[in-house]
Structure 1
Amino acid sequence: MMFTTNTGSLYHRSTPFLLLLTLALIFSSCKTSEPESYRSAAEIPPLPEPEEEIVAEDQPVAEPTDIDSLLQEMTLEEKIGQLFVSPAYGRFTNNKDPQYIRLKRLIENYHLGGIIFMQGDVYGQAMLTNRLQDYSKIPLWIAQDMEFGAAMRVSGSTRITPAMGVAATGDPANAYLKGKITAREARTLGVNQIFAPVLDVNNNPENPVINVRSFSADPAMVSLYGQYMIDGIESEGVMATAKHFPGHGDTDVDSHLALPVIHHDFSRIDSLELRPFRETINNGLRSVMSAHIAYPNISRNGDMPGTMDESILNDILIDSLGFEGLIVTDGLEMKGIADHYSPGEAVIYALKAGVDMMLISPDEMSAINELKIAVEQGEVAEERIDRSVRKILQLKKEQDAFSNPRVDLQNLSSSINTPVYQSIADRIARNSVTILKDSENILPIREVDHLNILAVALADDESGSTGSSFARELRKYHGNVNFHVLDRRTSLEEKTEILEAADDADLILIGSFIIVRSHQPIQVQPEQLQFLRQLISRPIPSALVAFGNPYVLRDLPNTDAHVMAWSSNANQVRQTVPALFGASEVAGKLPINIPGMYEIGDGLEFNQSNIRFDSPESAGMSTEKLLELDMVMQEAINDSVFPGGVVGVMRKGVMVWQQGYGYHDYDKTRKVANDDVYDLASLTKVIATTTSMMKLVDDGRLDVQDRVAKYIPEFDTDDKREITIDQLLTHTSGLPAFQVYVDELKTREEIVRAVRNEPLVNNPGEEYVYSDLGFILLAEIVEEVSGLRIDRYVRNNFFYPMGMKSSFFNPQKTGRWISNRIPPTEIDTTYRDGLVQAEVHDERAWFMDGVAGHAGLFSSADDLSRLAYLLLNNGQFGGREYLKPETIKTFTERRSPINQRAYGYDRKSDGFSTAGELTGPNSFGHTGFTGTSFWIDPDEEIAIIILTNRVHPSRTYGSTISRVRAKIADAVMEAIEH
């Protein structure tokens, strides 16, 4: 059976889940602009339980409770108390705290039925839940708003993209996973009911309170995604709650501040607002939250709020739609209610209208007392109270609240915000990114095109720190970002600075952090808008990224690019910024209409073309297992194999690990940084020389079967005439490994002349002798053909356009900004009489002015990962083809009949290999004498990069480096989740 949308398969249910551990592997990025029909969520594969879950000691288990018997035993006061749910903050609370004492008294004296937790943290909420449950004769019902995942209220848990962003992914299974993860964390925290999803159809761009909380402006899409989220929540035994009945999407008033009024007739509301509720009720919806909105044209009660209106709840929800589940009020403290009705009046009206559970009364004690009086005076029948209380007690029984109301504190650390949950949340955030406009081909941003970026965070607050995560993420992908905040505290002087910075910029990025927040506007304020229009009037391209209210695009229609990101949360920012630089695929589709600009289903598509910096789980690897690298590296450092180093791991286009270990030297005064630059030694042969040869072959300027004599006249002799370039590349030319030369020859010209004339030690093609001399000659051929010495050729054609900013020959000539990041190599007592640092370690390369085909290149793990990405991505990087796929295939397959080597690259040998035991048979790479290593397994799409200075302080150190390389490679491969 296939779980499909109208555009193709999402997932085959027989696939083992571990293959889908990471986001990208759990579900494909299926996109659709038309909502599909609902299919059973049972077809979605199960989410695994957290590993190594600790089971707490058994709690005392009560006998099964007979609800009718319990109800008969309860006093009127006890029954009334069950209807009320009061707010609490899930943080550490002292026993003498006034709010804590008040809650305790509500529970003990007023028989409070439940708690709705507001903001808090994992342990604070769990511990407070247990303390409050201890005071309650009947277990408390625990509820919480979790529209954006548990982290909407509980810090430390998993935050998931708002509903509108989930719909933008085009994959309703994401709504199911969102619901399931949220419910699983809620269940772990002792939460019985989640107030989500929002089933309002957000068809009013001026709506100040729903906005991205809604899935769409299309009722069919709201129904579809809402149902999937409900199924995900309910699959974990937690109650979902659809809100806000009969619909809050077409309002322009915030019901927290006033009473909205909707004047549509029943025909309109029935066809649009009611559709998601009707369809989910038909599918078994168990709980609905009412809206504090008046509907005078469908009610016989004029402007009475829907929460208190029998015409809305009894007549439409219960009688017409046949809803039999739990009806909950929205917060009764909201001004749409509290400004017009006393606490008791609001509850009595709501109860008569059909409500079962009263949420956040502004004065529970008064409300409870007024309701009791109303029952005693016959205004409200006790049987009406019983009907709602019976529902509530039955739900408590179904959720085992009577047998085990307490939270298992030992279980929290293994069950909240697991790597699996976070990786799914990351993938949903990444897939939600929607690009609606790119009129000047700004995207993806390439540093070579836009050297200087001015980034402005637009905010509606005055913290001064809004957008800090935006700046941080931009700087991961671009070396020159000038960042400013434009908020309510921005001074005239600061605005002048922004305008001056724009004069030096090549691109303006505006990140809008104007979000849906009660009591605050969701539009760009006039003064800010005037300034922004002045800013983007400059003749340079500009882009607007909406981290929140998507309708803000209407205020700045003339920016050259429009990007939807749906949320200002730091995690959403982390998953959005890569898309701007081509570091993640973009295929999001707009689920709303933006009047006069965009329609539902709009959205440009971009393939990934750059490396993304992300978690191991996002590429199907385990962070926990990769931490084994820490132990391998520390053991090697302890054994003085090297003083320190950097390990980089890239898989499936994601840099999942870039970690510095140890120190620059054995004095241990300077720690290795993740971006430190190392002498690559013989990695130069593949990173510079082989790559250059590939390019020349691609361009048709030479052929690997060409005779060397065509380019090196000294080879036009009887014994050398038949030597070909491919024999130099496979070390089968007959040349010796190396000659010392430098004992007598001290200049580049002398050494190159000697190499050109070096006698052979074997007949060409008959023996394998690893030769530096062959690669010195290959670099000479590059210069002969291109007219550029190899350092300039490889920089112009690869390093500079690919943003490999730390890859240089002779880095000491570049400046201290890079020289200071280079650990020293050997203390040379033969030629240089001192410590070698920021200049090539290899003596022959040093006497060749630091530039040679066999050694001399310096680089970082980040830079090398870019070249690895190019090799694994069919020669493309940053949207540009640097090498042809067939050329890469030709150069990296086994090419020698007498050894394992490819062209330039080594291949994994049958016996011991520095690539370890677990890399595949098609793996190719190289090592360097200074302690460097570069291995690629194309079958697993993985690159393993090791940079060390194992020759420090002497080349006699580090004799066990080969075994360390193999251990690192195996640890990396073990971390792949199959």
Structure 2
Amino acid sequence: MRKRLAFVLSLLLTIATVASPACAVNVHAKGGIEQLVSDMPVEQKVAQMIMPSFRYWGTGDSKKGVTELNDQQKATLMKYNFGGIILFGQNTQEAAQTTELVNAMQKANIQGGAKSSLLISIDQEGGYITRLQTGTQMPGNMAIGATGDPENAFRAANVIGKELAVQGINVDFAPVMDVNNNPENPIIGVRSFSDNPNKVAEFGQRYIDGLHSNGVMTALKHFPGHGDTATDSHTGLPLIDKTYDELKKLELIPYTAVAKKSDFVMTAHIQYPKIETGTYISKLTGEKINLPATLSKTILTGILRNDMGFDGVIVTDALDMDAIAKHFDKMDATTLAINAGANMLLMPVDLSTEDGLKNLDDYISGVAAKINAGDISIDAVNESVTRILKMKAKYGLLVDDSLNTVSKWSRMQPSPVMAEKVVGSKANHDIEWNIALEAITSVKNDKAFPIATDKKVVILYPSESQLNSFKYALDKLNESGIKINKNNISMIYIEDYEGFNITQGITGADVVICLSAIYSAEVNNKNFITNVISEAHKNNAKAIVLSAQLPYDTALYPEADGIVACYNARGMTDIPSFDPNTKQYGPNVPAAIYVLFGGAKAKGVLPVFIQL
């Protein structure tokens, strides 16, 4: 009984260590970590370098998101002491549930004899890319850039950091340090602060500070820069035909400025043939392709480590993305990545089925065999595991508390009860709303707004979830003392641009607001919006275009009377009541409507260059 009680107390202390960095200094910590690494079997070293997901379980109709661990998953966490786990939206349905899931993962890990707690990571960038289903979304990086105030990057990241920390999530794969200098970029876009590299650096630094203030580790992405691609690496293998000197003049400026202040750097699955000349025969096409940055020693070790002096952990972007998975043999990609200098491998194996768990056994034993045969450098492996454990020691995540180094981070205890109070709280949403308002940008205003309360207004919008965004904005206006007659406002969802009768739809309107939401260079409703503007003018009505996502469409409608940008088109599935059960709250569109009806002035400035 005493042994069992001692074990339980030890387990509780270990879980608490996840939340509370050690207070004592151990000058022998480095030697201690090196001894830990030396004592590890090769398979355990491999597992420490892996960061898998338990995103789904099952196949076909039985495939579901994982909100609690099953016996097979617990057994896997006990068998392999992974370096960490990455969470997705399927894991984070409710704040208390997420916290309990994280605690269960940590418990299984420790029960398996792990020497360190798990790194629990997530892509909670804010704005367009958010995973916490009940979290405070924040307006997103480009909206923050539009405010012109780097302190808004700190405020947003501080809220995000609080909400992650209270749920036991200790790594945020953020901030995005990509410079969105290619308007045709299909994957970065509003995830970037700006097309100005110095602005990205300045805002990115304050974002890092905001996460660090809550003891949440940061990961710059996507090195050496994903902003000048016209291909999404989730679905293809991008190529940037620039030299190292050219990257130094733009893409690398933000990374150079803040790399030494970040805990992690995430790699990009992008080919740079003028920098990395190594090649591989694609298993998809049979053609010779250049090694992408994720697999490039020239880029990861030569540039990031040696030239830029980054001393933290290099983590790959997900290895199941098409850029890697479709072109490279899994074991070849792993070998190249580790030998190139990558320290952690993100999602190298799908663990959504029992067969997937068996594949994990084969994968780990296969990597170990490669190490023992000398194909994968044992020195690279030992260095990687040492870096990972040093990072964990810095944040108080080693089981042997005497090995944890002094940390200045003040970390919140993960608590299901506290998580329900903190995540998605009214205080956090208030900060979010204020930043969203500051971001709203007036690109053109020919006496089109603020809209007088007696005007008849028609709002045309392309996403059903945006209806609640408008309703929410109108309620906020009334609460603010601007009495809006909702009977004067018609909101029409445009499901079919070609089939919609514009003349009939806007008859009698004094003002027509038409939402435009583009996510890449492709614009599929330009003719529709142009016709709306023309028809509005025939009726002596004002036409306002609300650019709800990428702001490049603000240049497409010079005939509009008003053009406003808000940088995130995400709507609301439910009107938020500011409780922890609020889901999918996008503040940008309601903030834009609030400004158009005179609730606030449009203070934002375009954060990217647009030829108007």
* TM-score bracket for this pair, using the shorter chain length: 0.7 to 0.9
Amino acid at match of 1:299: E
Report deviation, 1:362: 3.8
Q: Which residue does the alignment assign to 2:12?
A: 59
Q: Is the 8 A contact 1:471 1:483 kept in 2?
A: no
Q: Is the 8 A contact 2:120 2:168 kept in 1?
A: yes
Distance in 1 separating the partners of 2:418 and 2:442: 41
Report deviation, 1:255: 0.9
Q: Deviations over 1:45-94 (max 9, x none)?
A: xxxxxxxxxxxx99325899842332233211111001111123499x99
Moved more, 391-400 or 165-174: 391-400
- The answer to whether residue 441 in structure 2 is matched with residue 441 in structure 1 is no
> Which of 429, 435, 439 in structure 2 is aligned with 1:432?
439
Q: Which residue does the alignment assign to 2:151?
A: 173
Distance in 2 separating the partners of 1:90 and 1:180: 30
- The answer to whether residue 241 in structure 2 is matched with residue 263 in structure 1 is yes
Give the CA RMSD over aligned residues: 2.9
Report deviation, 1:149: 7.0
Q: Is the 8 A contact 2:142 2:607 kept in 1?
A: yes
Moved more, 195-204 or 263-272: 263-272
Distance in 2 separating the partners of 1:394 and 1:472: 47
**5 Å matches for 1:460-539?**
464-474=464-474, 477-479=484-486, 480-487=488-495, 492=499, 495-496=500-501, 498-514=502-518, 516=519, 523-525=522-524, 528-538=525-535, 539=537
- The answer to whether residue 357 in structure 2 is matched with residue 391 in structure 1 is no
Report deviation, 1:370: 2.7
Q: Is the 8 A contact 1:243 1:290 kept in 2?
A: yes
TM-score, normalised on structure 1?
0.50
- The answer to whether residue 454 in structure 2 is matched with residue 421 in structure 1 is no
- The answer to whether residue 300 in structure 2 is matched with residue 300 in structure 1 is no
- The answer to whether residue 181 in structure 2 is matched with residue 194 in structure 1 is no
Q: Which residue does the alignment assign to 1:215?
A: 193
**5 Å matches for 1:153-164?**
153-164=131-142
Amino acid at match of 1:401: L
Q: Secondary structure at the match of 2:275?
A: coil
Amino acid at match of 2:422: S
Q: Deviations over 1:472-523 (max 9, x none)?
A: 5347534311211123x5672xx12x43022321111012344x4xxxx663
**5 Å matches for 1:915-930?**
none
Amino acid at match of 1:264: K
Report deviation, 1:100: 4.1
Structure 2 portions without partners, runs of 5+: 1-9, 58-62, 280-289, 351-358, 402-410, 479-483, 571-585
- The answer to whether residue 535 in structure 2 is matched with residue 547 in structure 1 is no
Q: Aligned pair count?
A: 521
Q: Judging changes above 3 Å, is the alpha-carbon distance between structure 1 residues 311 and 505 closer, same or farther for their aligned structure 2 residues?
A: same
Q: Is the 8 A contact 2:217 2:262 kept in 1?
A: no
**5 Å matches for 1:218-367?**
218-282=196-260, 284-301=261-278, 303-363=290-350, 365=360, 366-367=362-363
Amino acid at match of 1:77: E
Q: Secondary structure at the match of 2:506?
A: helix
Q: Judging changes above 3 Å, is the alpha-carbon distance between structure 1 residues 593 and 96 closer, same or farther for their aligned structure 2 residues?
A: closer
Q: Deviations over 1:733-752 (max 9, x none)?
A: xxxxxxxxxxxxxxxxxxxx
Distance in 2 separating the partners of 1:584 and 1:69: 60
Q: Is the 8 A contact 1:183 1:233 kept in 2?
A: yes
Q: Secondary structure at the match of 1:407?
A: coil
Q: Deviations over 1:27-51 (max 9, x none)?
A: xxxxxxxxxxxxxxxxxxxxxxxxx
**5 Å matches for 1:449-460?**
451-459=455-463
Q: Judging changes above 3 Å, is the alpha-carbon distance between structure 1 residues 360 and 58 closer, same or farther for their aligned structure 2 residues?
A: closer
Distance in 2 separating the partners of 1:90 and 1:478: 46
Q: Which residue does the alignment assign to 1:381?
A: 377
> Which protein has greater RCO, CA pairs closer than 8 Å, 6+ apart?
2
Q: Is the 8 A contact 2:86 2:120 kept in 1?
A: yes
Q: Is the 8 A contact 2:312 2:391 kept in 1?
A: no
Q: Is the 8 A contact 1:82 1:113 kept in 2?
A: yes
- The answer to whether residue 48 in structure 2 is matched with residue 82 in structure 1 is yes
Distance in 2 separating the partners of 1:150 and 1:335: 21
Distance in 2 separating the partners of 1:343 and 1:270: 32
Q: Judging changes above 3 Å, is the alpha-carbon distance between structure 1 residues 98 and 173 closer, same or farther for their aligned structure 2 residues?
A: closer
- The answer to whether residue 556 in structure 2 is matched with residue 583 in structure 1 is no
Q: Judging changes above 3 Å, is the alpha-carbon distance between structure 1 residues 210 and 80 closer, same or farther for their aligned structure 2 residues?
A: same
Q: Is the 8 A contact 2:456 2:508 kept in 1?
A: yes
Q: Is the 8 A contact 2:319 2:347 kept in 1?
A: yes
Report deviation, 1:214: 0.5
Distance in 1 separating the partners of 2:589 and 2:128: 18
Distance in 2 separating the partners of 1:103 and 1:558: 58
Q: Judging changes above 3 Å, is the alpha-carbon distance between structure 1 residues 391 and 434 closer, same or farther for their aligned structure 2 residues?
A: same
Distance in 1 separating the partners of 2:534 and 2:374: 70
Task: Provide the identity percentage.
Answer: 30
Amino acid at match of 1:289: M
Moved more, 347-356 or 178-187: 178-187
Q: Deviations over 1:755-787 (max 9, x none)?
A: xxxxxxxxxxxxxxxxxxxxxxxxxxxxxxxxx
Amino acid at match of 2:492: H
Q: Is the 8 A contact 1:150 1:182 kept in 2?
A: no
Q: Secondary structure at the match of 1:115?
A: strand
Q: Is the 8 A contact 2:343 2:385 kept in 1?
A: yes
Q: Judging changes above 3 Å, is the alpha-carbon distance between structure 1 residues 349 and 101 closer, same or farther for their aligned structure 2 residues?
A: farther
Moved more, 239-248 or 105-114: 105-114
Distance in 1 separating the partners of 2:67 and 2:203: 42
Distance in 1 separating the partners of 2:56 and 2:393: 24
Structure 1 portions without partners, runs of 5+: 1-56, 598-978
Q: Deviations over 1:246-288 (max 9, x none)?
A: 1111111111110110001222111100000001125x33221
Q: Which residue does the alignment assign to 1:147?
A: 125
Q: Which residue does the alignment assign to 1:103?
A: 73
Q: Which residue does the alignment assign to 2:160?
A: 182
> Which of 392, 400, 421 in structure 1 is aligned with 2:396?
400
Q: Secondary structure at the match of 1:253?
A: coil
Q: Which residue does the alignment assign to 1:622?
A: none
Amino acid at match of 2:443: L
- The answer to whether residue 73 in structure 2 is matched with residue 69 in structure 1 is no
Q: Secondary structure at the match of 1:585?
A: coil
Q: Secondary structure at the match of 2:239?
A: coil
Q: Judging changes above 3 Å, is the alpha-carbon distance between structure 1 residues 267 and 491 closer, same or farther for their aligned structure 2 residues?
A: closer
Larger radius of gyration: 1
Q: Is the 8 A contact 2:441 2:604 kept in 1?
A: yes
Amino acid at match of 2:373: Q
Q: Secondary structure at the match of 2:593?
A: helix
Q: Which residue does the alignment assign to 1:135?
A: 108
Distance in 1 separating the partners of 2:527 and 2:471: 23
Q: Which residue does the alignment assign to 1:117?
A: 87
Q: Judging changes above 3 Å, is the alpha-carbon distance between structure 1 residues 552 and 474 closer, same or farther for their aligned structure 2 residues?
A: farther
Q: Secondary structure at the match of 1:566?
A: coil
Distance in 2 separating the partners of 1:100 and 1:491: 49
Q: Judging changes above 3 Å, is the alpha-carbon distance between structure 1 residues 313 and 506 closer, same or farther for their aligned structure 2 residues?
A: same
Report deviation, 1:394: 2.2
Distance in 2 separating the partners of 1:244 and 1:531: 36
